[in-house]
């Protein structure tokens, strides 16, 4: 009898898992003993980390996108559709088009979304480079900026936790190269009492902020934005005036996770080592979708995917799960237009950012292009 593996989500996590499974189970798929299906709501796969460069005109837009079907292994079935209900007990996922997909094993990789509605005025009064349209709009806003105060406002929860620091360092270089740094101020706000959630990164960033003349306001959680007066007001009753506001809004998980009562806020309670949905033995959770208190980042999803692929292959082959996720995350960190560093950490080992170098910056640019090999399950 055919065993069905169903993956909900065609982003980085879902795509890597589908391709990894297809490569390891090629014979079984070919013989029809196992099927791997992906439900994804976009026919275009976007390399989201590349959006960081778009506001500065430092990436070709078309390099950030590929057809999802072209990236997926040919033996993976791709359904361009949207999951509307997930019934873990009945082992069925319903979709917008009216289809019902049954499964033996399910992977939930539905990602996160920007929740501008959580902060009144934020959508109208700010720029956000976390999606394609937002990154394009920020590029236009920067072209019209001729000095003044830029506020980079970070809210929680959010994905890609290095990106707010990276955009700040790159803005510093951008303003200097345009010759308007002397009449500008760059002010970075963060929700807790330091510059980053990871204390070693916060301490490292503080040194570089001081060196570069970047100011900060900590314990700042945006509550409202007045787009007319150009003021962002915080839960802590602090008002910050701005000429250009760049925000990372709070995120939520996918609507289908909330409406299917699988997790508050769209984040699914997940075992931190097996990555099984709590209480389930056949439902895995990958990437932003978990409720784990670790970075919601592409590399997190990638390392989690490796664990899930190995365990799924073992399970469908009649074996036991032996692979465990150790919390590994690896992030590059651009420190300007010409330099970068990186961090790695896991559940037991804290990060230690090293001194920025041009070589690591170039390595990050190289990885931006090698990403397509990761998505295909080759790297």
Partner 1 sequence: MALIAELRLCQIGDSVEVLSSDQGSASDIPAWIAKVRHELVSVEERDEVWHIIVKKLK
Q: Site residues (CB under 8 A) for partner 1?
A: 118, 156-157, 191-193, 197, 199, 219, 221, 235-236, 250, 264-265, 293
For residue 176, the SS3 value is: helix
The three-class DSSP label of residue 127 is strand
- Nearest approach in angstroms of CB 303 to partner 1 is 20
Q: How far is the CB of 97 from partner 1 (least distance, A)?
A: 31
Q: Which is nearer to partner 1, 236 or 326 (CB)?
A: 236
Residue with Cβ nearer partner 1 (38 or 248)? 248
**Is the Cβ of residue 181 or residue 204 nearer to partner 1 in the bound state?**
204
- Residue 219 or 372: the one with the smaller Cβ distance to partner 1 is 219
Which CB, 141 or 238, lies closer to partner 1?
A: 238
SS3 172: helix
CA dihedral 36→285→367→169, nearest 10 degrees, is 150
**Nearest approach, Cβ of 265 to partner 1 (angstroms)?**
5
Query: Cβ distance 257 to 246 under 8 Å?
Result: no
Q: Cβ closer to partner 1: 156 or 280? A: 156
Axis-axis angle for helices 199-212, 163-178 (nearest 10): 10
For residue 358, the surrounding DSSP H or E stretch is: helix 358-375
Of the pair 217, 226, the CB lying nearest partner 1 is at: 217
Could you give the strand order of the β-sheet that contains 3-8, starting from the edge strand earlier in sequence? 77-80, 34-40, 3-8, 105-108, 283-285
How would you classify residue 230: left for phi > 0, otherwise alpha for psi between -120 and 50, otherwise beta?
left
329 neighbors 294 (Cβ within 8 angstroms): yes
CB of residue 309 to partner 1, shortest distance in Å: 28
Least separation in angstroms between residue 235's CB and partner 1 is: 5
Q: Write down the least CB distance from residue 282 to partner 1, Å.
A: 27
Whole-number minimum distance, CB 102 to partner 1, in Å?
Answer: 31
- CA dist 12 to 128, 170, 213, 229, 287, Å? 21, 25, 36, 39, 8
Which stretch of DSSP H or E encloses residue 170?
helix 163-178
């Amino acid at each position: 009898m055919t065993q069905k593996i169903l993956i909900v989500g065609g982003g980085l996590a879902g795509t890597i898992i589908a391709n990894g499974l297809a490569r390891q189970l090629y014979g079984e798929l070919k013989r029809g003993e196992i099927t791997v299906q992906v439900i994804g709501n976009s026919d275009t796969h976007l390399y989201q980390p590349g959006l960081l460069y778009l506001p500065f005109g430092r990436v070709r837009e078309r390099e950030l996108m590929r057809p999802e079907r072209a990236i997926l292994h040919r033996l993976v079935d791709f359904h361009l559709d949207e999951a509307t209900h997930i019934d873990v007990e009945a082992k069925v996922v319903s979709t917008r088009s009216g289809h019902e997909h049954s499964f033996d094993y399910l992977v939930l990789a539905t990602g996160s979304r920007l929740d501008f509605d959580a902060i009144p005025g934020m959508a109208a009064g700010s720029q956000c480079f976390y999606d394609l349209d937002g990154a394009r709009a920020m590029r236009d806003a920067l072209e019209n900026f001729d000095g003044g105060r830029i506020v980079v406002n970070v809210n929680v929860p959010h994905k890609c936790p290095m990106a707010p620091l990276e955009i700040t360092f790159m803005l510093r270089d951008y303003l200097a190269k345009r010759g308007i740094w002397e009449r500008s101020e760059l002010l970075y706000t963060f929700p807790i009492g330091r510059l980053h959630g990871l204390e070693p990164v916060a301490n490292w960033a503080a040194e570089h902020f001081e060196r570069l003349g970047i100011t900060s306001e900590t314990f700042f959680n945006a509550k409202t934005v007045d787009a007319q007066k150009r003021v962002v007001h915080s839960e802590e009753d602090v008002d910050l005036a701005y000429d250009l506001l760049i925000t990372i809004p709070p995120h939520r998980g996918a609507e289908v996770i909330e409406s299917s009562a699988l997790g508050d806020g769209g984040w699914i309670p997940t075992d931190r080592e097996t990555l099984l949905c709590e209480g389930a033995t056949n439902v895995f959770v990958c990437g932003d979708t978990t409720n784990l208190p670790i970075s919601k980042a592409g590399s997190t999803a990638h390392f989690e995917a490796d664990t899930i692929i190995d365990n799924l292959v073992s399970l469908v082959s009649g074996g036991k799960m032996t692979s465990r996720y150790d919390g590994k995350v690896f992030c590059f960190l651009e420190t300007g237009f010409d330099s970068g560093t990186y961090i790695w950490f896991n559940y037991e080992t804290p990060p230690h950012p090293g001194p920025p170098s041009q070589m690591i910056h170039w390595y990050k640019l190289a990885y931006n292009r090698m990403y397509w090999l990761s998505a295909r399950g080759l790297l």
